[in-house]
Structure 1
């Protein structure tokens, strides 16, 4: 029997984010992955601006930016015609308040590799080939049986194990919702040497159904998307007919049913769900991976504080804060999938998501700032606020002769008030003085 305060099931982006957040706070945990080897596909390739801010806080932003690229423009192929259209991503310049304003493309396998390396730097690693086979809990602990026969007792367990989550099934929870396409879709990573890599190629009018080929940055691969029924086992022939170029190799492929589904609970006792274990998105809008990472980012500091002696009531806010956001994001994903529009508004960037109704938010608005909102970046002397906030602590921004802005460890405004805060939910606070009110602009 092996005892750890926290057991994380699933080592995709959600589980890795949670593990990194716990590791940098000195919290004991184990991160288990049922698969024998790391994931090798591009699946969740779109990283939204808010997630880029999370990755900066976790210490991986330079690697993520180096591994990726902006989204390319679309090139529509209509018979003999070839027309260039817009891009899914914007091309806005960074501002003081918004250092990462645009959608960034990184193949999911590369994102996971970067997160695993960060976890190794913090002295931890993924345990591959370790599946959950049985889950029980009582008032004092979670009892998990693993595929090697080991029994693990943990204070808490977090299921980050995807759409087919063993944790979710053990809890008796279901993903409620609907399929939003009548037939499954195929996604694959393919190498095509003669195809122009500057654009995302779309053939909307092919007999049998449209296909798309998106160049993946820092690789020789394209991500192929098509209806599974129309392409069948004939990927090479369909691509050859469309592009007049041969596929050199197929690096990865998967079939999925576009759906919008979610659970009605994020927590059952000492067990939590995060990422695709709690909500399943179609790929349109690039919301799935990002929502999962932000689930973990919300939960990590709360779990760490509670196992270190903080009030257990803090954990109740995970479901109350994240479940409504998942529901809203699923509605956005459904809309984008059904309209097939290449236009993406600011809602997809996830910068405006907030916790205004949370019991952890208090006080009155100050200019454009509101308790529960994401705190914008700004210059603080010769550095940036985000750089000063980096790490596990809460932060209070003290305006000269004015109110104080208390910022949670996950970068959201906890309160705006005039009296000084000495602690937040029992955790220490770093104090920073500044002269002007930060702005969202």
Structure 2
């Protein structure tokens, strides 16, 4: 008989791994996060939370903490020769609507996002084991065995690689990663303390004949600034305090002494790459282990967290016995095309071909045409909500829809219809009047906030519910 240490082994305690473990914990699925480092990531790297990710965090119960700890993006300010030359909008603005209440990116340094997820995970009884470096992973028909550089091996029913772009798990599985260098010019990113700059603007210093561009952004909710600077191909970047002081002083009107502290620093070359597949047997890839983005447009962390949100409910349904293990096949089916699309978008944003706008907010992403998106209505107008689309918010009939959706359950939503509805044990029933964002009909909303099934009557609903583990 197999003896399992946990149901799901999550390798990596970044935003992806923590969001997945949190989602599993709230549905009572055992998981264990193993992290090679001795603590959480200390830098600001992925500092932008797109509106769709804010909706995910609303569902996971951490949005209030996220909103309290961060802030809106400041307006860009172009500098030249020590003088302000004018404001620059970093992205196209949008107004909040009833259906889309979160309309702009929210700034929160990555380290703080991870801390909020970690704190919520531990509140729910989840565990992260730090200082556990994966040495190898094998699997058989019944489970996965992970070996570590130190300590005992671990046995799990499934494993998820959330261990970054250089994923040890992905390499151990022999899964290739195909991609390209988006820009051969290396980048510096650092969290620093700076005097002499206000916190009302994102300060931009355009490139000159001798130096690349530099931007210094106040990090909301902290006393820090993030410095980002581009260098000529082949440059060895000095990440020391003196090195960063030199960069800042050379490219701006600030003096070296205005940089008083470097709290974290890194260098990288912008790259776009995607794993050839997102699953190998009982091991699944998520986040940077599956796709690596240019930071332009703020899509990497967001796409990664949404991987976790897609995968969590499916693992929970399979492990509880409510759904057949084949449900996990839909993870790659749904997430790989979305990741490919977002990789293309981030590359275009990096190269200045596309502005940050509606597409980068990620509210239009969905799963139309995938096997779990079953639309039974006929003759819908072009703009109509369909199975596979994100389920909109709104307050109707005394119900706020995001409040009704929040949690690990499905939701059976009847809009503008008195049709008799079946009693689905895993899906509370909500009835509201006709609402423009939905029209009328019956909608089975997935735990990750997408419409799974839609119809004018309940014909076919029971069969679908049984397939996905709701009945």
Give the TM-score, by structure 2 length: 0.87
What do the CA deviations read for 1:402-434 (whole angstroms, capped 9, x no partner)?
6211111111111211333453535347xxxxx
Q: Whole-Å Cα distance in 1 between the matches of residues 122 and 238 of structure 2?
A: 40
CA distance in 2, matches of 1:276, 1:146: 21
Give the corresponding residue for 2:223.
220
**Which of residues 247, 260, 279 is equivalent to 1:267?**
279
Question: Is residue 252 of structure 2 the alignment partner of residue 239 of structure 1?
Answer: no
Q: 1-side partners of 2:82 and 2:21: how far apart?
A: 51
Displacement of 1:219 in angstroms is 1.3
CA shift for structure 1 position 383: 3.4
Q: CA deviation at 1:85?
A: 2.6
Contact 2:93 2:357 in 1 (8 A): no
Query: 1:132-211 to 2 correspondence within 5 Å?
Result: 132-206=134-208, 207-211=210-214
Residues 70, 104 of structure 1: 8 Å contact kept: yes
Give the counterpart of 2:305 among 293, 307, 323.
293
Name the SS for the 1:299 alignment partner. Answer: helix
Which residue does the alignment assign to 2:58?
56
Whether contact under 8 Å (2:14, 2:114) holds in the other structure is yes
Residue aligning to 1:361? 373
Q: Deviations over 1:326-365 (max 9, x none)?
A: 1110000000001176x31200011111101111111234
Aligned-partner Cα distance in 1 for 2:77–2:16: 33
The CA deviation at 1:2 is 5.7
Q: Secondary structure at the match of 2:264?
A: strand
In structure 1, the partner of 2:469 is 427
Q: Indicate the SS of the match to 2:68.
A: helix
Contact 2:92 2:357 in 1 (8 A): no
* Secondary structure at the counterpart of residue 467 of structure 2: coil
CA RMSD after TM alignment: 1.8
Residue number in structure 2 paired with 1:327: 340
For 1:16 and 1:424, how far apart are their aligned partners in 2?
Answer: 29
For 1:86, which of 66, 85, 88 is the aligned residue? 88
Q: Deviations over 1:382-411 (max 9, x none)?
A: 331010111111111113246211111111
SS at match of 2:86: strand
Match of 2:344, SS state, is helix
Say if 1:43 and 1:328 are closer, same or farther in 2 by CA, change over 3 A.
same
Deviation at 1:149, TM superposition (A): 3.3
> 1:276-330: per-residue Cα shift (whole Å, max 9, x none)?
0010001100000000000010000000000111211100000010001111100
Task: Report the equivalent of 1:77.
Answer: 79
Does 272-281 or 142-151 show the bigger shift? Answer: 142-151
CA contact (8 A) 1:142 1:270 kept: yes
Match of 1:345 among 339, 350, 357: 357
C-alpha distance in 2 between matches for 1:392 and 1:425: 17
Q: Shift of residue 145 of structure 1?
A: 0.7
Q: Is the 8 A contact 1:263 1:278 kept in 2?
A: yes
SS at match of 2:277: coil
Is the 8 Å Cα contact of residues 78 and 88 (structure 2) preserved in structure 1? no
Q: Distance in 2 between matches of 1:140 and 1:381?
A: 48
Greater CA drift, 286-295 or 397-406? 397-406
Say whether the 8 Å CA contact 1:10–1:162 is kept in structure 2: yes
CA contact (8 A) 1:394 1:424 kept: no
Q: 5+ residue gaps in structure 1?
A: 430-441
Match of 1:418 in 2: 456
The 1-side partners of 2:260 and 2:4 are apart by: 47
- What does 1:244-255 correspond to in 2, within 5 Å? 244-245=254-255, 246-255=258-267
Equivalent residue pairs, number: 428
Q: For 1:114, which of 104, 113, 116 is the aligned residue?
A: 116
1:53-86 deviation per Cα after TM superposition (whole angstroms, max 9, x unaligned): 0000000001111111111111111225422333
Return the match for 2:291 from 272, 276, 279. Answer: 279
Of residues 103-112 and 90-99 in structure 1, the stretch that sits farther from structure 2 once superposed is 90-99
In structure 2, C-alpha distance between the alignment counterparts of 1:46 and 1:340, rounded to whole Å: 20
Output the CA distance in 2 between the equivalents of 1:428 and 1:330: 33
For structure 2, list consecutive stretches of 5 or more residues without a partner in the other structure.
Answer: 419-439
In structure 1, distance between residues paired with 2:7 and 2:207: 55
